[in-house]
Amino acid sequence: MPNEIAEQDFQGAAQAQATDAEIGARIRSLRRAKGLRLTEVAAQTGLSIGYLSQVERGISSPSLRVLTTIAAPLGITYAELFRTGAVDTASDSIVVRRAERGSLGLRGTGMEKQLLSPPGGSRLNLYEVVLQPGGASGEDLYVHGGEEAGLILEGEMELTVEDRTWRLQTGDSFRFASGRPHRFRNPGAVTARVLWVNVSEPV
């Protein structure tokens, strides 16, 4: 049993590192396509050039706050950073099969986001957020453009918006403007699943 657990941990760490590398490569590709230097992105985001370079090389694992911050000067929503499967083009970007879901697992956060809506530049995006016990968006409150809402499908979630905190149970729901500082975490002992909607501002 200990060997099996160690093997699972190793596989999980390897997958997380591969995801970081994919996200970093995607960010670098988008930055270059926009004709932006790292110095320009650093100036617009307040993040250091060294840290941005580490993110692009897959050395550092970015938080949700960092991803949303980097997405702004690139002119995208962070939904466009998700890894996606082979999308069925015959569906005209209307249907997403389970195997086609884009996914974004953030190393060390205990959280995974799956993109349930078709990729491709829409301002409306639907996610399933899976939070392991103790999993969180991060210690820091963060902001981005748009509006969001959600429904707790399983487990519980603690949501903080500005100076107020709510402990939400299965069946509870929420909505708030994304420009209000916020964060969330799973304070429970079981995995939480949240259906989450983001509507971004026009780019």
Residue 73 and residue 95: Cα distance in Å, rounded? 30
Q: pLDDT tens for residues 162-198? A: 999 999 999 999 999 999 999 999 999 999 999 999 9
51 phi and psi angles, rounded to 5 deg: -65, -45
pTM beyond cutoff 0.85 = no
Cα–Cα distances in angstroms (integers) from residue 120 to residues 26, 43, 78, in the given order: 14, 28, 12
| Maximal C-alpha separation, the chain | 51
Residue 20 and residue 200: Cα distance in Å, rounded? 24
Q: Is the pLDDT of residue 79 over 80?
A: no
For residue 118 the two structure tokens come to 């078709």
The full set of domains in the chain, from first to last, is 2-81 (1.10.260.40), 89-199 (2.60.120.10)
Q: pLDDT tens for residues 104-142? A: 777 678 999 899 998 776 889 999 999 999 999 988 999
Return the exposure string of 59-97: e unless at least 16 CB atoms fall within 10 Å of the residue's CB, then b: ebbbbbbbbbbbbbbbebbbbbbbeeeebeeeeeeeebe
DSSP 3-state percent helix, strand, coil across the chain (nearest 5): 35, 30, 35
Q: Is the pLDDT of residue 36 over 80?
A: yes
Instruction: Compute CA 156 distance to the chain's CA centroid, rounded to the nearest angstrom.
Output: 19
